[in-house]
Amino acid sequence: MSICVAALVVFAFMGVFSARYRYWAKEAFDCVGRRVTLRPCKTEFNQKVRAKITSKLLKKSQKAARFTHKHFEAISWVFTIILFVSLILTAGGLYNLFTYGTCDPAQPDSCIFTVQEGVCAPACMPCNCGPHEIGCDAPEYKACNGNCQCVCESMGSVTS
């Protein structure tokens, strides 16, 4: 069961980028749907994932493959817990970022996304983007077809 849920989250994300993972996401979704309605997993999704992973490991290390195959349920629970803890922490961080302007209000410096106040345009450092460089209205301001960002100085620290 655990692997269905974890896989659903992971494959749903990866499915955004590749149709191959959309197929797996669909299977995982079907499996989760069946499990929550107390029906057996028709697609034997757990088994497919377990066998695929074991098979890949078998080519590299028999020991690791045997261990994974034997303790797959436990391993998948560990990964599921890790996944959910990370998801919860990420959600909290995002909430803080939008509410307080930093993902860690206790130690704003430790969060790379902390928003720095300051006026960018006049203090822009010149970009060096080669032939694609184009001029902006302000003489010091240069943008490069949107490919590179202006770097601006404010309150003594450099932000982008």
Partner 1 sequence: MDAKKIREDFPVLQREISGKPIVYFDNACMTLKPRQVIQAMNEYYENYSACVGRSIHKLGNEATEKYENARKTIAKFIGAKKEKEVIFTRNTTEGINLLANSLNLQKGDIVLASDREHNSNLIPWQILGKKKGIERRIVKSKPDETFDIEGFKNMMSKDVKVVSIIHSSNLDGYTLPIKEIVDIAKDNKALVILDAAQSVPHKEVNVRKLGVDFLAFSGHKMLGPTGTGVLYGRYDLLENLNPFMVGGDTVERTTYDSFRLLPPPEKFEAGLQNYASMIGLAEAVRYLDRVGRENIEKHEKELSRFITGEMQGMDGLKIIGVQDPELRGGIISFEIDGIEYHDVAIMLDDQANVMVRSGQHCVHSWFNARNIPGSVRASLYLYNTKEDAETFIEALKTITKLR
Q: What residue ranges bind partner 1 (CB under 8 A)?
A: 44, 47-48, 50-52, 54-56, 58-59, 62, 65-66, 69
Nearest to 142 by CA among 123, 118, 114: 123
8 A C-beta contact, residue 83 and residue 9: yes
Minimum distance from residue 56 beta carbon to partner 1 (Å): 7
Task: Give the residue with the Cβ less far from partner 1, 49 or 152.
Answer: 49
Angstrom distance (rounded) from CA 30 to CA 22:
12
Task: Give the residue with the Cβ less far from partner 1, 44 or 140.
Answer: 44
Minimum distance from residue 55 beta carbon to partner 1 (Å): 4
Sheet of 124-125: strands edge to edge? 124-125, 151-154, 157-159
Nearest to 122 by CA among 105, 136, 140: 140
Task: Give the residue with the Cβ less far from partner 1, 39 or 60.
Answer: 60
Minimum distance from residue 69 beta carbon to partner 1 (Å): 5
